Amino acid sequence: MCELLGMSANVPTDICFSFTGFLHRGGGTGPHRDGWGIAFYEAGGYRDFRDPHPSVRSPIARLITDYPIKSHIAISHIRQANVGEVRLANTHPFTREMWGRTWCYAHNGQLEDWQELSLSFYRPVGDTDSEHAFCWLLATLREHYPEAPALGTCDETMLEGHQAFWQLLHRLCETLRAKGVFNLLLADGEFFYTFCSTKLAHITRRAPFGKAELSDAELTVNFAEHTTPDDIVSVVATEPLTCNEAWVRMVPGELLVWRHGRIVARFVAEAQASQD
């Protein structure tokens, strides 16, 4: 299957360290050689890079590791093709517009009977189950919320205004999880969403910062030399990227909503909720 990498931060932050380890899994330390992509939300804008070739040998991927693009949210994906040809149109992340915002999406897993998901406003460009599910998911959200939930004037009122929307998103993710494996990274430039079907892990780095050592490449960084005491940076990946840090594994059916590096909402499957 594919692998996912994402970041949420409270200050513009580059993802060069994590991406360096991640790209080695795309045909190097891992079998995910069927394309890769990465997207950044920065300074109110959005840009992405995609390549249908293995990331470990991609000149574009090497550019990303050497070019410290600083963003609040980043999403990356390396592909091991199951559905759809190996071509640029099938390379994640996928994007669509809603509410005047660029929505970015990446999926790890494989769905059954995905063609039965009826499409309305959005249509796929490629021929993957992932993009089809994205079109269905975003169109369903749009049907229920033609306009964005009100942001409010402070964090507390902002979060209250989004609860119903997030609950709907969680239910839709659960619908897709019932069709197979559906691990998700999704963002709109304001919030970053992670949904676990089988495997996702996360780590939040904040003061006091220390050293981190990659598992897939010989690279160690001392974050204390590159941060301020107020920085908060959270990284999410299919599998932990470092070997000397304590990552937290998400549970199946769990949706986390991130903003500025912090978890601002959590939703779990009904079975998990009864255990909690």
Q: Which of 178, 195, 177 is nearest to 186 (CA)?
A: 195
Q: What is the mean pLDDT of each run of 10 residues along the chain (276 residues)?
A: 90 88 68 82 92 81 86 89 75 95 95 93 94 97 91 63 92 97 96 97 94 86 89 96 95 97 93 59
Question: What pLDDT score was predicted for residue 168?
Answer: 97
The vertex-155 CA angle with 186 and 71, nearest 5°, equals 45
Question: What pLDDT score was predicted for residue 219?
Answer: 83
Question: What pLDDT score was predicted for residue 271?
Answer: 66
Domain ranges (residues) in the chain: 3-275
Q: What dihedral angle (degrees, nearest 10) is formed by the CA atoms of 142, 143, 148, 150?
A: -150
DSSP string for residues in 91-138: PSPEEEEETTEEEEEEEES-BSSGGGS--SS---SS--HHHHHHHHHH
Q: pTM value?
A: 0.92
Question: What pLDDT score was predicted for residue 100?
Answer: 94
Question: What pLDDT score was predicted for residue 158?
Answer: 66
How far is the C-alpha of 172 from the C-alpha of 162, rounded, in Å? 15
- Which CATH code, of 1.20.120.530, 3.60.20.10, 3.40.190.80, 3.40.50.300, is assigned to 3-275? 3.60.20.10
Question: What pLDDT score was predicted for residue 155?
Answer: 63
Catalytic residue annotation: 2
